[in-house]
Structure 1
């Protein structure tokens, strides 16, 4: 087999800016493995568990903001990528998935490691490409190279996302022992020059004129990367125009002055007609998903007259059932123009200011509650998460696993401006949280702090089954030996099957896992030990660390109920 066209796949990737590849061992993918492993400009790593490999690649791409290549062999290996592919699709993270396949004549012929791999990821990729089986003819090579360029450019176009290349191989596909990998530097490559839609003068005038028709304007930021330009404009808008801005922990808006961080707490109560008083007449949204179900319910039950969503390209979800206008530009540009709109001292602005203070009063009340409710006499997960987040080092990223970890953290929010927050909220599954954080370790010198529950942690234990330096990893493991979230959901919490079939009790701890992988293990089951352990946990001394907090699921639920009741009792 002429392997040069396969080697040139790696060369095209390199010329289009890809520097990272995650490979999983296999035979059918041997030409691809050699192509990437021998390329001098691409850092390759091998991860045996394909499900973990895909989430590690997701973490790398999430951190570097560039596509990561994934390579696996034929058969079920490709299916193991599926959870991370779906997460990347909904979280808009660029991945280039390359799966080796059997030749077409052997599909459905009961041959080993042979499944139907074309379109295997369905609607959870931006596009799938099938490589030509014969690569001898010049036109076939032109076709193959064009496909690679198109796939990479598509993964990087807004909204970013995963793209799939399926490549069938006939035997023999191993290079000979003395065969060198030849990369053709003058290979045909298609460069995509990206641009962002901008607002023309007429559109700006229309927005400005419409703006003055509304008295209660609310801005909501969904999940997004930390963006200094956006945060600077929002700080100005809050200060000068008295517009409340809501952003939960995954919005990375926590360094915006007077941001509404804890709406999920106070919107959980509707005392004295609170919800009706917080109804906007203009809602402006940007970013991806929000965590707070309470915020979604408020905006669905008390719909605004106008809802503008800011997004340069792509499909837009009508999350709050009130979408009236899609403004095609970047959030940076939009909020810069909004910050420049001149405010006038009139009755309209007085209404907006009153609306702003209604949101601020609830936010400050909630902040005071967090300060006075803790420390509690009974120790639990909530307090551990609060203390950990409040003491995060500046040079760190925060990762949040799904289920209770991300919800507790959203109540607390982040106070360290330099910290960036990551969470797999595209599909919001428990799979892959460890692996995603490991991917960040491979891409960054910062401490990577993951807060996770026991089920998510043990589900993804193969994240650590690799030969790479992940000494920057810190895991706060909340081990209540069950899925504690089901105790706060009304349905399962009342059922006799709760403990066996919903919580799924398990007896594991991380002690032996730490021994296996050479992690430092800190075990804490008493409140008096926690502060000293937390200090050791954050020390950067060349070892990955797990701080395991053992607690009781029922006690954690009771503390959370007391916290919510205390807020309800506040005047």
Structure 2
């Protein structure tokens, strides 16, 4: 057996023993040993994509949904660099990815050899760990080294700080099996077990909140232990402020209009808590962050105590866990939040329901309410997730994801496809037109690949809608060209190019029927950027008036 085939066979086998179930492969020549080993491995689900960037985001979606490391494999050269955007997102969102990059052997580096670049530590500090196998050789001791290295790759992607890891794998030719199956030592390992077993967990660091406090639970991106903390907050009489993808916006204590409430200075002043417990990484609402910065006690929960989120730089404690005693604080504390939330919610819904026009906030609100309880919704990280944050009513059931680690619009289609493939149930996505166009390659799924049950609801306002809500909108001269960026693309033609079923939504009454179906499909909703900015102003003003009227009673 040639060394390249031996290394690839052992590496794949050991990663499977560790628990690897999904691998995404982008085709190439230098990665042939890994590709062939993966193709022959029946214990994994292999996904093949022609574009490395799309492949990496597909792996990201699979890993975010499953909570398990997913490997992405590519060939040498610029192919590796195309993984970088997804690696950045995985690093910020703490998603375990294993990057297996094939490389030329050292003697071909810095020689002008074809498809050869410097891949050593290419991703810098973005990855949690970097390693290189070295060029495989037919000599005793190699198998133990390879298996130990694979276990290290697996463990470092998970603990102590989950995220992407990079193993560079240089191969010399021959790159394909030569028919010889002999090797200087046995290639197999201990049946069913990784070479390196897991050790004991680290000591548990907990903080106990004093009983009877006026507390608030805030939940953002990447939060863990959400049901337990929501139940504890309810027992303590705390309001729960959860971003949609924090997956804690449910139950009687959920305050769904916190963005509008905290934008009213009078309310924000009266709603100052004794303590705020923060799960995950909130970052959608500026009023929330401004209010959070004023909290007297601001406890951040980070199970790994490694990369705790604190964008306001006001955290007073960081803990692996927090104990919230089931002793309610002042009786009027929760009532104050609830009554204001009801007033703002009624005002917001009244604006949205005023006419049967397709507006972006109403589309977001109505879509999430239509979804089955066992569904998954991937939301674009720019305007769609903000719309959902500002108008979504509390509800149980659907799991909501968004690439808000680095908040880029790139790779969202591929992420949604990967998430759908890892989800046991129907999947949906809500994204903007630029987000779709940025990752059209995510729609390219070969005939032999697993296909997701995924409905992509695309808001098409012919450009970058978020800029119409920012100060740049006042720059009427250059605005359209350098911020609005109209594209004029026919999304029906984009869908047709990949034979993706397509529906144009002409009325919100058609939405329940439009999202029905199987397989990957697109529903387009055409909106206007200027009108969208007007709707957002109407929503904000209506909510503000309602809260101020309530406080004046």
Q: Is structure 2 residue 111 aligned with structure 1 residue 109?
A: yes
User: CA-atom RMSD, angstroms?
Assistant: 2.3
Q: How does 1:166-565 map to 2 (within 5 A)?
A: 166-176=168-178, 184-186=188-190, 189-193=195-199, 195=201, 197-198=203-204, 207=208, 211-212=210-211, 215-224=213-222, 230-238=226-234, 240-270=235-265, 273-300=266-293, 303-313=294-304, 314-329=306-321, 334=322, 337-340=323-326, 342=327, 349-350=329-330, 353-377=331-355, 378-413=357-392, 415-467=394-446, 468-524=449-505, 526-527=506-507, 530-532=508-510, 534-540=511-517, 542-565=518-541
Q: Does the 8 Å contact 1:472/1:544 carry over to 2? A: yes
Deviations 1:382-403 (A, max 9, x none): 2222221221122311110021
C-alpha separation in 2, matches of 1:173 and 1:478 = 46
SS, match of residue 124 in structure 2: coil
Q: Does the 8 Å contact 1:216/1:280 carry over to 2? A: yes
Q: Does the 8 Å contact 2:461/2:527 carry over to 1? A: yes
Query: What corresponds to 2:164 in structure 1?
Result: 162
Q: Does the 8 Å contact 1:289/1:426 carry over to 2? A: no
Residues 555 and 4 (structure 1), Cα distance of their counterparts in 2 relative to 1, 3 Å cut: same
Residues 315 and 224 (structure 1), Cα distance of their counterparts in 2 relative to 1, 3 Å cut: closer
TM-fit CA distance, 1:374: 2.4
C-alpha separation in 2, matches of 1:415 and 1:261 = 6
SS, match of residue 144 in structure 1: helix
Q: Does the 8 Å contact 1:52/1:435 carry over to 2? A: yes
C-alpha separation in 2, matches of 1:33 and 1:178 = 19
TM-fit CA distance, 1:216: 3.2
TM-fit CA distance, 1:13: 0.7
Deviations 1:476-533 (A, max 9, x none): 1100111011010013443421101111111113212222323221112x43xx323x
SS, match of residue 314 in structure 2: coil
Q: Is structure 2 residue 66 aligned with structure 1 residue 64?
A: yes
TM-fit CA distance, 1:185: 3.6
C-alpha separation in 1, matches of 2:44 and 2:298 = 44
Q: Which is worse superposed, 176-185 or 56-65?
A: 176-185
Deviations 1:56-112 (A, max 9, x none): 011111122111111100000001000111111111111110001111122222211
Moved over 6 A (4+): 177-182
C-alpha separation in 2, matches of 1:367 and 1:480 = 26
- Gaps (5+ residues) in structure 2? none
Deviations 1:263-295 (A, max 9, x none): 11222332xx22221222322212233321220
SS, match of residue 21 in structure 1: strand
Aligned residues: 537
Residues 233 and 70 (structure 1), Cα distance of their counterparts in 2 relative to 1, 3 Å cut: closer
Q: Which is worse superposed, 483-492 or 370-379?
A: 370-379
Q: Does the 8 Å contact 1:157/1:194 carry over to 2? A: no
C-alpha separation in 1, matches of 2:343 and 2:277 = 25
TM-score normalized by structure 2? 0.91
Residues 318 and 254 (structure 1), Cα distance of their counterparts in 2 relative to 1, 3 Å cut: closer
With a CA cutoff of 8 Å and minimum separation of 6, indicate the structure with the bigger relative contact order.
Answer: 2
SS, match of residue 223 in structure 1: coil
Residues 394 and 288 (structure 1), Cα distance of their counterparts in 2 relative to 1, 3 Å cut: same
C-alpha separation in 2, matches of 1:309 and 1:549 = 39
Q: Does the 8 Å contact 2:261/2:268 carry over to 1? A: no
SS, match of residue 160 in structure 1: coil
SS, match of residue 442 in structure 1: helix
TM-fit CA distance, 1:140: 4.1
TM-score normalized by structure 1? 0.88
- Gaps (5+ residues) in structure 1? 344-348
C-alpha separation in 2, matches of 1:379 and 1:72 = 42
TM-fit CA distance, 1:157: 1.8
C-alpha separation in 2, matches of 1:474 and 1:149 = 37
Residues 76 and 289 (structure 1), Cα distance of their counterparts in 2 relative to 1, 3 Å cut: farther
TM-fit CA distance, 1:535: 2.4
Residues 320 and 357 (structure 1), Cα distance of their counterparts in 2 relative to 1, 3 Å cut: farther
Query: What corresponds to 1:346 in structure 2?
Result: none
SS, match of residue 138 in structure 1: coil
TM-fit CA distance, 1:170: 1.4
